[in-house]
Chain A
């Protein structure tokens, strides 16, 4: 009689095997295995009867709490994107992966600068998610934003990406405000002999990747190289006319990953990477003081990371991790000013200052007097260094009681004449912990928290999380989660000293301005709105979640379903504009977010279906002090603008649908549809990929063709982000030995 589903299987068997029956057999087996002749050709080799050596090393499926937890026990909804899914769907850039995550959106600001976030909020200076690459904080140290285009993570090396949806400050600290992204790359011991891929496509897309590695009992290593070139958007629009848009990049990454195995209890992971290249920026979109040339960014980053893992026993293990990351960005470009501004700079007169001329206010600095223009060079160079030290201890008292705890210290060093007028430091220290307790098979309780102190606010914060998971039939769980999180302003938000120093001033007439630093106070347009110098407080978030996770084994398929219902209160949110002429950020907005999200996969033999959907309703209110016009009246438009800024990436509906289908003759097809609404217009794109795979005993080769079709031709966020052709094509070839 065919078996139709697992439900029958889960019924108690009429005559359950008594464990006592197996005692003698198990004993005999264990003894047999332990002392059996090693020369035996057919007898099993020696093993102990437990998960010797593996218990501490089975890869952490979910890192939401830093404990290894199955989805039924994890205190919150977590999306896991496997590297194979990314590659099967033909995703071309790391940041595009996040369109697969319910509630996450992806878009671009400035010169094709990708921005992605969970539950939206602002588009510029998005820094409300903690992003980790192999446990290393990935966002920049001082400006705190994510530079996805230069992140040294080749798609081929991604093992999986875990996105903890919802505040995760309880585990990862103050930047894990809306959620956390944990990018886990392939273990160095899992390296191919040689692997290479090259992809070429529309808009100058070129990506080449090569990796080689080897392993032994004591030392595993991998060397990787990736080159990424892309032209970005095709054109920008000004006064109805199209102009070329310089917003591509040409980035090279060299990576070294290794593991030194000292003995069965200890190993050291060591990673190093160098990122070198250019990010092209358009002078009409980027760069202060009206650049004369494109202010391209010369990227010279590196990182070093060491992680010592040690097991005291099968149930007790810890790691110590230290890392150094350096982000060195060189931006140099010429600027020019009319003689009137040069004179104002000489006399320290604010450029936008109004002077009463015959009863009429006039901006005299903006009225050229016929003299020669001033030319000079400026730079926006910055070098950030982050030093991070972390200790984490895991104690598995039993399968029902698990602890993880630890402490961390971080030092951010920033060196920039432009942004900080020199050098400064920020310090963060934290203590964290989580306990998972399962008093019954149907009940798991999680309690965790993170205490942190940061010098940016000279204050300390505690972010707790409490969760109860009701587990039904091993495969289903209902979670009730309460958590709080904070985000503190970064060093630049809190304590900027922003100014551009004029070098190589010409003509000689203006030589007195050589070395003159043009600051916010020189160029601010509306001084009454300036918030520079205001002490910023932390943003706070209180989140409540009820979620369900279930797996339904069907006759020929497996259905996995996760539904999250949430209600978040965001308070003292920092909103406003960060520009040299307009510095208006403050803790002036609050928002309530509520909605639900769904993620489902259905795996049939040879077919995989995946769906994600997020619905979010955001109610945003201005709570700051009154913003005044020059005449002292309240500027309601500006207050509304401040609230709208916090909604730029907050979309009501977003989601994805994907199909991966095995075909005969070694072919595989995939299709994916992504959408998000309530930017300025909808984002809608359909991707399709056909790959021919040749699997031989000694090598695997692939040839793939990908097409992206943009259903909506209108730019979603900025009117300058335009693509000429709705269809984008990519060809990819790869071989792995």
Chain B
């Protein structure tokens, strides 16, 4: 059964992957054997700059290597390499690694992994083609629809933000109208305003949607936010898997394998053309749920696979912010 699922998963993912990066794969498929025969040249190299978390770096590297096969070689990035790199791409894991590479040498082509769109967007705008990314954050529309899939009766979504971070939710509010969901952002600029504002938000919304806004959602605040929400029988959706472990009811997330596939495609494109394509969201999302919270709040929770499929079915394919 387990093997069967893996095959099934591969089949689905491969078709999607082929559709998105087929050209570059085909290109490499034909050119790589030619290269082998002509001069047995070594595959191109890409550096990988880790987050510092050995287990994570190892896991991501392994997935990337599986994805790239013989088409490219990954080499750990040493600090003394930074100054000399010109065209060799560097894959960074996490925003700190990205910042480290970027600060050392602004000319380096970088493929950023495990970074949020909000973080990387300005760099990409400044260096198109030289910087790309596989977004780590989940599209907010997808998160909102995760809430809708769990609470089909919901029609109002509340969001907490600061004055600065409110724009994060602006596109979503218009998008949700297309899904019969009303949404409002409630502003809390200081710690004192957080809970009073949250109370008003919970009165308005059927659930609270959390985006990647660490001024609101951080380890210091999250417990208070969750307890206040649960006392009012309201749930928190998002912003990430980690928050579900901390007590949020559910969050969509992209599996590392899916991010590795997208990263492989972007890297191959760079190796072939010398330019990175635009950054992408992964093409596959799964759902993390907190069964204990659901039981405590008497919320009937469908299977995770069903929620993920339901979200996928709801998403308007033409919606650019929805991710794939």
Contacts and interface: CB of A to CB of B under 8 A. Distances in A.
B242 A45 contact: yes
Interface string B149-163: 001111110000000
A32 B51 contact: yes
A8 B55 CA distance: 38
30 contacts: A1-B313, A9-B303, A10-B303, A29-B56, A31-B53, A35-B52, A35-B53, A41-B118, A42-B118, A42-B120, A44-B243, A54-B223, A54-B227, A58-B293, A59-B227, A61-B296, A61-B298, A68-B296, A72-B295, A82-B233, A187-B231, A190-B199, A190-B231, A192-B200, A474-B300, A551-B300, A553-B302, A558-B153, A604-B153, A737-B196
Given A49-B245, A558-B151, A2 B2 contact: no
Contacts of B245: 47-51
Contacts of B6: 21
B277 interface: no
A31 B247 CA distance: 18
Contacts of A61: 296-298
B212 interface: yes
Interface string A65-76: 000101110000
A159 B55 CA distance: 45
Interface residues of A, number: 90
A20 B2 contact: yes
B116 A41 contact: yes
Interface in B213-250: 214, 218-220, 223-224, 226-228, 230-233, 239-243, 245-247
Which 6 A-B pairs have CB atoms at the shortest separation, nearest pair first?
Answer: A9-B306, A42-B116, A15-B5, A605-B155, A9-B302, A603-B153
Contacts, number: 233
Nearest to A87: B203
Nearest to B60: A28
A42 B137 contact: yes
A263 interface: no
B115 interface: yes
B124 interface: no
Given A21-B2, A53-B223, A42 B230 contact: no
Contacts of B58: 28
A214 B186 CA distance: 18
A134 interface: no
Contacts of B21: none
A58 B303 contact: no
B219 A554 contact: no
Interface string A586-607: 0000000000000000011110
A552 to B, nearest CB: 8
Interface stretch (A403-411, A624-632, A695-703): A695-703
Contact of A37 (B96, B119, B120, B295): B96
A663 B47 CA distance: 58
Interface string A4-41: 00101110011111101100110111011101110111
A58 B192 contact: no
Interface of A: 1-3, 6, 8-10, 13-18, 20-21, 24-25, 27-29, 31-33, 35-37, 39-55, 57-59, 61, 68, 70-72, 82-84, 159-160, 186-187, 189-193, 214-217, 399, 474-475, 551, 553-558, 560, 603-606, 662, 695, 697-700, 736-737
Nearest to A399: B292
A2 B240 CA distance: 26
A555 B245 CA distance: 28
Contact of A45 (B1, B153, B214): B214
B95 A40 contact: yes
Q: Is the interface of B mostly helix, strand, loop or mixed?
A: helix
A736 B186 CA distance: 13
Residue of B195, B214, B293 with most chain A CB atoms under a 10 A cut-off: B195
Contacts of A215: 192, 195, 224
Given A9-B307, A186-B231, 11 more contacts: A15-B4, A27-B55, A28-B58, A32-B56, A42-B120, A46-B219, A52-B246, A190-B195, A555-B152, A560-B298, A700-B200
Interface string B279-304: 00000000000101101111011111
A66 B145 CA distance: 35
A392 B245 CA distance: 28
Interface residues of B, number: 90
Nearest to A35: B53
Interface string B133-156: 000110000000000000111111
A3 B313 contact: yes
Contacts of B136: 42-43
B20 interface: no
Nearest to A44: B242
B256 A45 contact: no
B261 to A, nearest CB: 14
B296 A695 contact: no
B306 to A, nearest CB: 3
A711 to B, nearest CB: 31
B59 interface: yes
A219 B83 CA distance: 52
B50 to A, nearest CB: 11
Given A558-B151, A736-B200, A17 B302 contact: no
Contact of B1 (A16, A551, A697): A16
B38 interface: no
A379 B302 CA distance: 64
A51 B222 CA distance: 11
A37 B94 contact: yes
B193 interface: yes
A41 B227 contact: no
A18 B298 CA distance: 27
Contacts of B9: 15
B180 interface: yes
Given A18-B2, A33-B242, A45-B214, A58 B233 contact: no
A82 to B, nearest CB: 6
B221 to A, nearest CB: 10
A6 B302 CA distance: 6
Nearest to A608: B153
Contacts of B302: 6, 9-10, 553
Nearest to B296: A58
A737 B186 CA distance: 11
Contacts of B86: none
A438 to B, nearest CB: 11
A59 B202 CA distance: 16
